[in-house]
Amino acid sequence: MLREKGETYRWQPVSPTLMAGLVGHAEERHAPPDGRLLRYRDGRPVTDRRYDQLWVRIGRELPWFRNQGVSTHWLRHSHETWMAEDGIPEILAEQRLGHQVPGMRGLYAHASQRMRDELTAALQARWEESLRERAALDPYSPVPLLDNLLAPLRDDVAVMTVPAGGPGLLPVLLLARNR
């Protein structure tokens, strides 16, 4: 269950891989069941202000990120787009975003377990794809939670550097599947 503003709670599916990582993080950082989940190494909760600072720091390093106006709320819009791309029924997408569905649609349409299962599978597929893409950038992370999730992918990543004058300034990274 996701605790929201106003002490309301809402069911929120996440991928099994992400859930395992979050549970491990909560146990390692001694997060109380009724408190904030994400915590610093010393156990203090990560605050909203910290997230805002992270967006600013990332924007300094990646101009495209800053130019897009990425924020925590912006991620909600991206998530809504993903659900549409994955064919998630509108009633479930609206419920996931915490929206009230107006009119007769909200009265008669209900999210079924099958819809939720399909959403969870779609989230898992996107999660696995994003981990593979992140591993291609760098298969290690200084963030223990992410580093643990990247560990199984380390043997599958090959890094190639673009020759001087080649396209782009960053290394080109190819995902090479070991066969």
Q: What is the pLDDT of residue 158?
A: 57
DSSP state of 114: H
Q: Which one, of 75, 72, 174, lies nearest residue 126 by Cα?
A: 75
List per-residue pLDDT tens for the chain, 179 residues long: 666 767 777 777 777 887 888 898 899 999 998 888 888 989 999 888 888 888 888 888 888 888 888 887 788 888 889 999 999 999 889 888 888 777 777 677 788 999 999 998 998 898 889 889 989 888 998 888 788 889 999 987 655 443 444 333 233 233 222 22
In 3-state terms, what secondary structure has residue 160? Answer: strand
User: Which residues fall within 8 angstroms of residue 55, CB to CB, at 6 or more apart?
Assistant: 70, 71, 72
pTM of the model: 0.65
As a whole number of angstroms, the distance between CA 59 and CA 21 comes to: 26
Residue 101 to residue 126: CA distance in whole angstroms: 26
Three-class SS of residue 171?
Answer: coil
